[in-house]
C-alpha cells in the first residue's frame, strides 16, 4: 500500500482507509493551463471524496524550491477552493483540460467500514490512457440461456481493437450483486486467495471446474502478468477452505464466452472487466444478470386401476408414475415386469416411502391401502442401457394380469437326446395353471451371445413372431413345486443347423413373459 501523502504523476496507487478516519493526499501542478485527470476507485465500501486546490506559495516555483513536505506544512491549515466532490461506490473521476497551477488536495473518508481504494492522477491524460477505453455500447449481452449455461457477448475495447494494446477480459460470476470495479472483486476474493489463471484464448471451460485453475500450463506460464499470477497454495486450499461464492475467470481477448456448470432456476450476476495487462489497470463494462432456466419438469404418468402401462426409461434416467385409486381399498398390488435389465422401483404413499427394490423379470408387491391415498412411483433405469418395463397397479387382488414365473427362467437342452432332426428341452413352471408356447427360429452358426442379448426383451410377446416359428402351446402346472417341470421334443429340424428357442408363458389377462432364449444345434451326422 502507498504510505506517502504525495500522489505520483501517472501511477496508480493503492491505499487503506480506517472507518471514520479521513485521509488527505497532495498533488502539485506547477504550470497554469495544465490538463489534469484524477480517478478514485472504491474497492469494497462507498467513499466520500473531494478535490480542492490552493495557490502554491510564491517561493515554491523555480529551481531552488522548498521540498513539497515543507510547502504542505505551510498550507495544510488553509482550506482550498473545492473543484469536485463525490459520495458513493462508483469509479468516479475529475477531468479538466486546463487546470491552474497549485497544490491539489484529495480528501477521502469511509463512514461504512475499513476499506481500501485506488487513486490515479496524471497531468498527461491524453498520452497516458492507462485505463482501457469502453466501446460506445459497454453492455454485456446474454446471447443464450440454458438450465446450466449462460453465453455472454460484448463489444471489444477500442484500446484493443484500435490502439492494439494488450487487453484481456475478465468475467466475474456471483449470486449476490454486480461489481463496480475489479478491485471490489479482488477484495471479496482475497479472503479465498482465489486469483485465477487465464485460460488459453479460444477455450471455453467452466469457471467452477477448479482443476483448471491455480497452476500455469507449460505453454503460457511466462506470459501472464500482474494479478493473473496464480497462487500455488490455491490447489491445496480448496479442499479445506469454504469457497467464496464468487468466481473470476480471465479469458484472453475473446468477445464471447459460455459460463457452464451453473445451477438451474438461479439468478446470477455477470461483470466484465477489460484489463490492460501492461499497466494492470482495468475498466468495468456495465454488468448484467440472468436467471438460468428451470429443470425440465418430470411428467408424471397416471396409472389406471388394473391396466398395464408400458414405460421406457433412458440409460441412467428415471420416470415418475402416479396411482390414485378411486375407491377405498384394503391393499394395493403393484406388478412390475422389467423387460431388459434390472430397474429400481420406489413407492411412496402420501410422501412416505413404503418400498424401494431392484426388479428383474416379473415381481409383485402388495402394500397396505389407505383411504384417499395417492401413490407416487419412481422407476430408475439401468446404468448399462435403456430400460423397458410394464407396470400394473390394482386395488383388486384377484385381478392379476402378469403370469407367475418360476425363479429360474432358463430353458435346459438335453445334449444326449439331440438328433439330426430334433432337440429335447425342459423348463420350469409354477403352481398356477398357465399356458406355455414354444417358438423356434433358425440362426447362423456364428450367431453370438451379443445378438442373443439383443433379442432378450422379455416383453415382446408371441404376437411379434412369424406363424411358421410356432412349435406348440400347452397348459401345465403342479401343486408340488418340485414337479412343476415339463419337457418337449421339437422335431422337423435340419441336420447340423443352429436354432434359437423361446418359451412364452401367457397369463389370464393375455400378458406374456418370455423365458431366457436358448441356442441349440442339431447333430450333423446321425
Q: Which contiguous run of DSSP H or E holds residue 37?
A: strand 34-42
Reference 179, options 120, 248, 115; nearest CA is 248
The DSSP 8-state label assigned to residue 71 in this structure reads: H
What per-residue confidence (pLDDT) applies to 223?
35
Position 308 confidence tier, pLDDT thresholds 50, 70, 90: confident
51 forms beta bridges with: 84, 106
pLDDT over 90 (residue 340): no
d(CA 145, CA 143): 7
Reference 376, options 387, 389, 367; nearest CA is 367
Q: What are phi and psi of 283, to 5 degrees?
A: -130, 140
pLDDT tens column, 493-518: 999 999 999 999 988 777 888 888 89
C-beta separation of 268 from 118 below 8 A: no
For β-strands 318-323 and 300-302, DSSP reports them as parallel
Residue predicted with more confidence, 326 or 453 = 326
* Stated length of the chain: 526
d(CA 248, CA 273): 10
**Domain 131-192+244-296, what architecture?**
Sandwich (2.60)
Reference 3, options 12, 19, 20, 16; nearest CA is 16
DSSP string, 372-428: T--EEEEEE--SSS-EEEEEEEES-TT---SPP--S--PPEE-GGG--SS-EEEEEE
pLDDT tens column, 197-208: 333 333 444 444
Q: How many CB atoms lie within 10 A of CB 250?
A: 20
- The CATH class of the 11-56+80-128 domain is mainly beta
Q: What number does CATH give the domain 411-521?
A: 2.60.40.10
d(CA 71, CA 102): 11
C-beta separation of 125 from 38 below 8 A: no
CA distances from 309 to 128, 278, 284, 331, 514 (A): 75, 67, 58, 20, 18
Reference 184, options 289, 271, 280; nearest CA is 271
Report pTM.
0.50
Quickly list H helices, 153-277: 158-161, 182-189, 233-240
pLDDT tens column, 16-58: 889 999 999 998 898 898 889 999 999 888 999 999 998 877 6
d(CA 89, CA 44): 8
Domain boundaries, the chain: 11-56+80-128, 131-192+244-296, 301-394, 411-521
Identity of the highest mean pLDDT range in 136-145, 211-220, 463-472: 136-145
CATH fold match for the domains 301-394 and 411-521: no
> Which single residue is written with the C-alpha cell 441412467?
316
Reference 244, options 234, 229, 257; nearest CA is 234
CATH topology classification for 301-394: Jelly Rolls (2.60.120)
Amino acid at each position: 500500500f502507498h504510505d506517502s501523502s504525495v500522489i505520483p504523476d501517472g501511477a496508480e496507487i493503492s491505499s487503506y482507509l480506517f472507518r471514520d478516519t479521513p485521509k488527505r493526499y497532495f498533488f502539485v501542478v506547477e504550470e497554469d493551463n495544465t490538463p489534469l485527470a484524477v480517478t478514485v476507485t472504491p474497492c469494497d465500501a462507498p467513499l466520500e471524496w473531494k478535490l480542492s486546490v490552493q495557490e502554491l506559495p510564491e517561493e515554491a516555483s523555480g529551481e531552488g524550491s522548498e521540498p513539497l513536505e515543507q510547502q504542505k506544512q505551510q498550507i495544510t491549515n488553509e482550506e482550498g477552493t473545492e473543484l469536485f466532490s463525490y459520495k458513493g461506490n462508483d469509479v468516479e473521476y475529475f477531468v479538466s483540460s486546463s487546470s491552474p497551477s497549485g497544490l491539489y488536495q484529495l480528501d477521502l473518508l469511509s463512514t461504512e467500514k475499513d476499506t481500501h481504494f485506488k487513486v490515479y492522477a496524471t497531468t498527461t491524460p491524453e498520452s497516458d490512457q492507462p485505463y482501457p477505453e469502453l466501446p460506445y455500447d459497454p453492455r454485456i449481452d446474454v446471447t443464450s440461456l440454458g438450465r446450466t449455461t449462460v453465453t455472454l457477448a460484448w463489444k471489444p475495447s477500442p484500446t484493443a481493437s484500435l490502439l492494439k494494446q494488450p487487453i484481456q477480459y475478465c468475467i466475474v460470476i456471483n449470486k449476490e450483486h454486480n461489481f463496480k470495479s475489479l478491485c471490489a472483486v479482488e477484495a471479496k476474493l482475497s479472503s479465498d486467495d482465489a486469483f485465477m489463471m487465464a485460460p488459453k484464448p479460444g477455450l471455453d471451460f467452466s469457471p467452477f471446474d477448479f482443476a483448471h485453475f491455480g497452476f500455469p500450463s507449460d505453454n503460457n506460464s511466462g506470459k501472464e502478468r500482474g494479478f493473473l499470477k496464480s497462487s500455488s497454495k490455491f490447489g491445496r486450499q480448496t479442499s479445506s477452505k469454504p469457497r467464496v461464492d464468487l468466481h473470476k475467470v480471465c479469458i484472453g481477448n475473446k468477445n464471447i464466452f459460455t459460463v457452464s456448470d451453473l445451477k438451474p432456476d438461479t439468478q446470477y450476476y455477470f461483470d466484465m472487466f477489460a484489463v490492460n495487462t501492461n499497466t494492470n489497470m482495468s475498466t468495468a463494462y456495465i454488468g448484467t444478470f440472468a436467471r438460468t432456466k428451470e429443470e425440465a419438469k418430470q411428467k408424471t404418468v397416471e396409472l389406471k386401476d388394473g391396466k398395464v402401462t408400458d414405460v421406457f426409461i433412458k440409460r441412467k434416467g428415471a420416470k415418475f408414475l402416479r396411482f390414485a385409486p378411486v375407491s377405498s381399498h384394503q391393499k394395493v398390488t403393484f406388478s412390475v415386469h422389467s423387460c431388459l435389465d434390472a430397474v429400481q422401483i420406489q413407492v411412496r404413499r402420501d410422501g412416505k416411502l413404503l418400498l424401494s427394490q431392484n426388479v428383474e423379470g416379473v415381481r409383485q408387491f402388495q402394500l397396505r391401502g389407505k383411504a384417499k391415498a395417492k401413490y407416487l412411483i419412481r422407476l430408475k433405469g439401468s446404468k448399462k442401457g435403456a430400460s423397458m418395463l410394464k407396470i400394473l397397479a390394482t386395488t383388486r387382488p384377484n385381478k392379476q394380469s402378469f403370469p407367475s414365473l418360476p425363479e429360474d427362467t432358463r430353458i435346459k437342452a438335453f445334449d444326449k437326446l439331440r438328433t439330426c432332426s430334433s432337440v429335447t428341452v425342459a423348463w420350469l413352471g409354477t403352481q398356477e395353471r398357465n399356458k406355455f408356447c414354444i417358438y423356434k427360429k433358425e440362426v447362423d452358426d456364428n450367431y453370438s451371445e451379443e445378438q442373443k442379448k439383443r433379442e432378450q426383451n422379455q416383453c415382446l410377446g408371441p404376437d411379434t413372431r412369424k406363424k411358421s416359428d410356432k412349435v406348440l402351446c400347452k397348459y401345465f402346472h403342479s401343486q408340488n413345486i418340485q414337479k412343476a417341470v415339463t419337457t418337449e421334443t421339437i422335431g422337423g429340424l435340419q441336420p447340423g443347423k443352429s436354432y434359437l428357442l423361446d418359451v412364452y408363458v401367457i397369463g389370464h389377462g393375455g400378458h406374456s413373459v418370455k423365458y431366457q432364449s436358448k441356442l441349440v444345434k442339431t447333430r450333423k451326422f446321425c
